[in-house]
Structure 1
Amino acid sequence: MKTWAQQLYHFYTHFTPGELPNHVAWLFPQRQPEVRKVVKAFLDKYYNDRNERRLLLGINPGRFGAGVTGVNFTAPKQLTEVLSIPHPFKSQSELSAEFIYDLIAAYGGPEAFFGRHFIGSVCPLGFVKGGKNINYYDDPALLAAVEPFIIESIETQLRLPVDRSACGCIGEDKNFKYLSKLNERFGWFDRIAPLPHPRFVMQYRRREKEQFIDRYLQFLH
């Protein structure tokens, strides 16, 4: 049986996304050799095993985190300062990444966190329209077009040794409702746990960040 690193690297570098409606374009950073190199370094460092892990699924990658690095909820600054992974990207950060890496520190650090969890996305590729991020659920025609890809992607990840007793859903409104609906159809997980989206916390409730981190820790433990 292949390791998490081997299977995830193949997963993230072999997408064949179809056409999108309404002038929406795919955000597919793993097409670029420099991104593939970073993704491989990250996976080889933290996922070179066959251990059981629990999934957390965000919405879809955005332009300034995974849309640059190819690593979910990870901007170039975290690659350098936390993970010590070299890269050619401009040293920028991103609000969601800052929250997630504060959470990882509170959990016990990258080795402890990534050793027991994998953060993915309901849709593993992102979307751009008019130079701005768009989420898979923002446009009904887009959602209809990408739903088969979403289902196939989740089922591919579930071929890994995943703890199916619970899945953390990052985004407790539309992302949670949609993932819950899919889970009712396919029975992937025993339960879906809604978790506040890091961008919401950092933009609107930053003073309460520690309380939101505690909510995540309760799920993770």
Structure 2
Amino acid sequence: MDTFADRAIAYYLSLSEPDQLPPGVGAINPYRQPAVQTIVNQFFSTYFSDHTPRVYVLGINPGRFGAGVTGISFTTPQNLKKYCGIDNDLPPTPELSSRFIYQIVEAFGGAAAFYSQFFLTSLFPLALVREGKNYNFYDDKATTAALWPNITASVRQQLTFGCNRKVAVCLGRKNATFLQKLNQEQRFFDRIVTLDHPRYILQYRSRDIESYVDRYVTTLADCVS
């Protein structure tokens, strides 16, 4: 019987860029790179080689400095090495969201403890860029419409890895609008709880970071209690 890791690895290494994006919007697919393929195999084999359902924590789409480089959600090359124990030769990248997320991972006792309960992912699995900058799938209506079938299919397939469908955690208030819409259409999850996105917290609420860490830890703990 396939493990969570088996299914996740097969999914990520089969991803291809969408061909219907509006002009000026591009997608980054790191999974074509041998170094990232190795990382994906190591990461999931280390933390997900079992059949335990995880609570899914869903972001928008990856940033070009996090999963857009490593292939692992919210994880920079340096955090992949420091917190997950996976050595790599990828250059370090400045990703605010990863910095915050790994505070949460550490608050749960480290990567092994955290990933035994949670799966970090996104509604759309590839990083999007426009004019060389991070772009969100909901930043314009044409991109949202073009990617909606991909988003639906992506989330549906990710659920097959091993999902606790009783609850999902959505990162980002605007993102929640689209996940709720998707859930109304597809009934993927029994309920959805929403937290402010890590990038928003570090950009606009950095003085309150400890209270946000507490809120994250409490919310996530409630989801697995």
SS at 1:124 equivalent: coil
TM-score scaled to structure 2, two decimals? 0.94
* 8 Å Cα contact 1:57-1:170 kept in structure 2: yes
Alignment partner of 2:166: what SS? Answer: coil
Report the Cα distance in structure 2 between the residues aligned to 1:83 and 1:159, rounded to whole angstroms.
Answer: 24
SS in structure 1 at match of 2:163: coil
**Comparing 10-19 and 94-103, the one that deviates more:** 10-19
**Residue 117 of structure 1 aligns with which residue?**
118
Contact 2:5 2:161 survives alignment (8 Å)? no
Whole-angstrom distance in 2 between the partners of 1:186 and 1:112: 30
The TM-score normalised by the length of structure 1 is 0.96
Q: Which runs of 5 or more structure 2 residues have no equivalent in the other structure?
A: none
| 1:161, distance to aligned residue in structure 2 (A) | 2.4
Paired amino acid for 2:155: I
State how far apart, in whole Å, the 2-side matches of 1:77 and 1:15 are. Answer: 24
Amino acid at match of 1:67: G
Alpha-carbon deviation of 1:160? 2.6
Deviations 1:89-126 (A, max 9, x none): 11234210010000111111111100011000011112
Matches within 5 A, 1:25-104: 25-104=26-105
Q: Would you say the 8 A contact 2:15–2:31 is kept in 1? A: no
* Alpha-carbon contact 1:56-1:170 (below 8 Å) kept: yes
- Higher mean Cα deviation, 58-67 or 77-86? 77-86
Say if 2:21 is the partner of 1:20: yes
The alignment partner of 2:99 has SS state of helix
Identity between Structure 1 and Structure 2 (%): 43
| Cα deviation, residue 162, structure 1 | 1.1
CA distance, structure 2, for counterparts of residue 20 and residue 156 of structure 1: 21
Residue in 2 that maps onto 1:148: 149
Letter paired with 1:8? A
1:213 aligns with 2:213: yes
Q: Distance in 2 between matches of 1:15 and 1:65?
A: 17
What are the superposed Cα offsets for residues 113-157 of structure 1, whole Å, 9 maximum, x if unpaired? 000110000111121111111100001111111111100010101
Cα distance, 1:74 vs. partner?
0.3
Distance 1:18 1:166 in 2: 32
Q: Are residues 1:166 and 2:162 paired?
A: no
Is the 1:69–1:75 contact (alpha carbons within 8 Å) kept by the matching residues of 2? yes
Superposed displacement of residue 18, structure 1: 2.4
**Are residue 189 (structure 1) and residue 199 (structure 2) matched?**
no
For 1:137, the equivalent position in structure 2 comes to 138
Look up the SS of the partner of 2:119 in the other structure: strand
Displacement after TM superposition at 1:23 (Å): 1.8
* Paired residues of 2:168 and 2:189 also in contact (CA < 8 A): yes
How many residue pairs end up in the alignment? 220
AA paired with 2:150?
A: F
| 1:39/1:71 contact within 8 Å kept | yes
Contact 2:7 2:160 in 1 (8 A): no
Does the Cα contact within 8 Å between 2:66 and 2:73 map onto a contact in 1?
Answer: yes
